[in-house]
Structure 1
């Protein structure tokens, strides 16, 4: 482990730009729930266990059509939770590391929680590949508009997982609004905002000569983040306590550590006593 940490620290000391790729495991150390597997999901939302609804069924546009107060009970609770939850110290370690690099950092994440922005990362340097819970869109995509969720304050009956206050509506057609998040079975997601973020990332990457990618908590169940990390062209530092393995041909270091523990270990290797 120490030899791998030393290699990772040397790479970071040589880097001129940092790509941060983050999956669901990044938020666990902030206390955010883990939805991997029905056990973890139903532990966070026991009302949905009683209804025998798993994550793929409630995180689905069809749920808003079938039972909007239940769907918004789930997403409204998450929106409120993400607004209230402070990012863990690992976010700040990454931000401090990025500030010392000539090209800074860019974030590529499948998380919709907005934790990187809350931790002080510039909005223009974050690519949220699955969208953001802090933005809304029309369920029927009447005009392709995306707007801020700041004006929506959900009141949720957590025992029933149901929204108690008024449902959010589209300012154009008056129809039901939904989060601007890519869901399961989703053909109506308005991807314009994410596409613009992807373009900004695509323009930044070629400006970096000595790229290092730190990947945190990105699993194989939904491999979007892992695949991007592996093809970005830089040296890869993978932090994952359960699936740390690297494919053949990748110049990388695999550390079987969680997000916060791994980032603290890297920080310690960069600044030894």
Structure 2
């Protein structure tokens, strides 16, 4: 903890690389494994559907009510969730964010420099897509909690009138419109090139989908200034960083106190 605090206190800039684990302390599910997904969404256990199967763009063509049932429920959940106090710690560090999360919790907590590599559930696009337009979700989606199917009317594209979908990169997704996320990533890359003493704080990013871990390790490769916060998979390869086997809120609260002691 003291070594991690020293790294952060001595840095010119902080890059946070975050996976689903950062939201657990806010009450959000992290979908860890099929059993974890089914605990969060029991109707899909009855249907025998796994997260990878329900988060597949094919359902928007084959069964739109099923597809929007899942994403409509998540949209309402993320809108109602209050970010935990650990997000305020990140804001006090003026941290830049790289995340695979699509929930918008960083922006809700007041952080502005956020690169969402998998898109955002708060933005939509055409299923086709008929254009590369992306727009904010100003609609609500009513969902039957027993069947987890969306009720009519389903969201539509303002250009062609066809079905809309979240602007999220799903599994096996060839229809995703990436330019919003790519602009965020390009801005992050340009910023990183200007930083001499950068510390990377990785939070709640597992190995199952290694996008966030790879980014954190790449960004910290030259200096080894990596702080990995993860209660289940905290190991740091080759000693290139500091491991904190803790939940996000606990670790960030402790880091704030430890940094206070170093100043």
- 2:184 is matched with 197
Shift in Å, 1:97: 2.2
**8 Å Cα contact 2:141/2:155 also seen in 1:** no
- 1:101 is matched with none
Looking at structure 1, the residues matched to 34 and 237 of structure 2 have their Cα atoms a distance apart, in angstroms, of 28
- 2:244 is matched with 255
- 1:244 is matched with 234
Point out the more displaced range, 232-241 or 213-222: 232-241
- 1:145 is matched with 133
- 1:156 is matched with 143
Shift in Å, 1:249: 6.1
Q: In structure 1, the residue corresponding to 2:214 is in which secondary structure?
A: helix
TM, length-normalised to structure 1: 0.92
- 1:131 is matched with 119
Tell me which of 86, 91, 97 is aligned to 1:107.
97
Structure 1 runs (4+) deviating above 4 angstroms are none
TM, length-normalised to structure 2: 0.96
Structure 1: runs of 5 or more not aligned: 99-104
Q: In structure 2, the residue corresponding to 1:209 is in which secondary structure?
A: coil
Shift in Å, 1:63: 1.3
Structure 2: runs of 5 or more not aligned: none
* Residue 217 of structure 1 pairs with residue 199 of structure 2: no
Looking at structure 2, the residues matched to 11 and 249 of structure 1 have their Cα atoms a distance apart, in angstroms, of 15
Task: Write the mapping of 1:84-99 to structure 2, written as runs, cut at 5 A.
Answer: 84-98=80-94
* Residue 272 of structure 1 pairs with residue 261 of structure 2: yes
RMSD: 1.2
Q: In structure 1, the residue corresponding to 2:158 is in which secondary structure?
A: coil
Q: In structure 1, the residue corresponding to 2:193 is in which secondary structure?
A: helix
Looking at structure 2, the residues matched to 43 and 111 of structure 1 have their Cα atoms a distance apart, in angstroms, of 19
- 1:179 is matched with 166
Q: In structure 1, the residue corresponding to 2:14 is in which secondary structure?
A: strand
Q: How many residues are aligned here?
A: 259
* Residue 22 of structure 1 pairs with residue 18 of structure 2: yes
**What do residues 223-259 of structure 1 show as CA deviations (whole Å, max 9, x unaligned)?**
0000000010351000001111111262x10111111
